[in-house]
Structure 1
């Protein structure tokens, strides 16, 4: 979702050309330098009008878009406000950039905490690394979640194909604990599993009840999207994520899939509305820093 007056940052090496928007620190394009193949979803509003939003300071939805903290009620919509804020460029080279967002008068209306959020992108060969760094500069604890939501074009490459020509493989190949969504909320009372002992064939009906969610429990994991049509694909590698979501907007026949690394998750079905009790919330003590990262290989 590129705004008309948006400022964008370009990272480039011999393999890839990467575009990131200062609005939301959102990755908007990754193209192969030689073939010009576009890997990132291009935000067609008929399906989904974003590319790869940052989810902060919540992941998913709150009951009634509302939470309580320290005796006060606050309202915040799905996935939080960072995706709609203008970040500042703190550092930049030809192949790396650091974006920074700090609390301000607008965020205080939604979220009564001081914070500094740094998002670092680094391009090496055909790999793009993304690091989130949340710092608590205050004298009281900060409660937050954070995550990514990158969308990838399907099909990829010159050959004509469809969404259902692709599979998602997960390494380690095993059966993963999983959370289902009841509406937009986490059904914590009925955990289930997802079998990734072999690749999952993509089809739009898989997402009739929203995202497929793997409970990674911070296990290092790689998700790879490929097809027999050609040699192109993407691989998302996580070192310490709490969860990863796989999503495409059903029942729309959308030509993309999102692989979403999460350090946090939507409210549980039985949430009491208190931010400190929120399912999957992270507590950051005064003057401490939280780090999370993932990497994407484009091939």
Structure 2
């Protein structure tokens, strides 16, 4: 386990999956991050690569070859290598292997950077194409936060989500685990959105951001503590918790990709919002979490 620390926060990151597992307030010694529970959700903040969401039949075709891949891809289950580390910053990487190429026939390098800056954690995902062909991929992040947090006597329903910009957002409904891009909905987010478990009756709330810088603040009027996640260039943002089993957490998820559509044809090159990276190129995707 990797530990980063400054005057305000102590952060832990697991080499397995380059997963952020803990963020503790140094003064009041409370935990911001969901600590996992097999009865609800046993992860913390997985990295979603090389797909976001689920594929039809958990499979796809690429260059006339058939491959099997489960929800959110494989990066979250592999050990990353620590490339560099200081007290407040770590860089980890995952490269393709003979094992990964059996399910994803590309040569790549995925680099994760975590850096503390006062009360904020900066996170970047960099995908490099090391193949002799165009790289097809999606990527996303899935951090889960304790609700309630701060050793509080508050309840899940005492919290709300506040969005900036304040506006009516287009939403992408899910039919089972699959995206229905042809029937977008709307969510009024000019005012704070109260947290209820029923909000997730049909799985995640998926907001269409179209790359606009967006901040989501999770907080309560009962105390001064919460988190604010800002993402600069994501097409989508997922908000999720478990239902009908009620988990004491909520995930705020920047996505550069989305689950297969209800009418997907199984071709990876045709997948909704698949990203295409030229030979020898790399692309970086960032977000920040402020803790207060």
Classify the TM-score, shorter chain: over 0.9
Q: Please give the alpha-carbon distance, in whole angstroms, between the structure 2 residues aligned to 1:207 and 1:96.
A: 34
Answering whether residue 110 of structure 2 is matched by residue 117 of structure 1, we say yes
Match of 1:81 among 64, 74, 79: 74
Moved more, 272-281 or 191-200: 191-200
- Give the alignment of 1:1-299 within 5 angstroms: 8-299=1-292
Q: Please give the alpha-carbon distance, in whole angstroms, between the structure 1 residues aligned to 2:86 and 2:185.
A: 45
* Number of residue pairs matched by the alignment: 292
Q: Please give the alpha-carbon distance, in whole angstroms, between the structure 2 residues aligned to 1:108 and 1:148.
A: 22
- 3-state SS of 2:166 partner: coil
Deviations along 1:139-194, one digit per CA (max 9) or x if unpaired, are: 20010000000000011123311111100010000011110111000001101111
- Spell out structure 1 runs of 4+ moving beyond 3 A: none
Unaligned runs of 5+ in 2: none
CA RMSD for the aligned pairs?
0.6
1:234 is displaced (CA, Å) by 0.4
- 3-state SS of 1:236 partner: strand
Deviations along 1:246-284, one digit per CA (max 9) or x if unpaired, are: 000111111000000000000000100000000011000
Q: Please give the alpha-carbon distance, in whole angstroms, between the structure 1 residues aligned to 2:3 and 2:150.
A: 22
- 3-state SS of 1:110 partner: coil
1:99 is displaced (CA, Å) by 0.5
* TM-score of the two chains, using structure 1 as the length reference: 0.97
Deviations along 1:7-62, one digit per CA (max 9) or x if unpaired, are: x1000000000000000000000000111110000011111010000000000000
* TM-score of the two chains, using structure 2 as the length reference: 0.99
Q: Please give the alpha-carbon distance, in whole angstroms, between the structure 1 residues aligned to 2:152 and 2:38.
A: 25
- 3-state SS of 2:148 partner: coil
Unaligned runs of 5+ in 1: 1-7
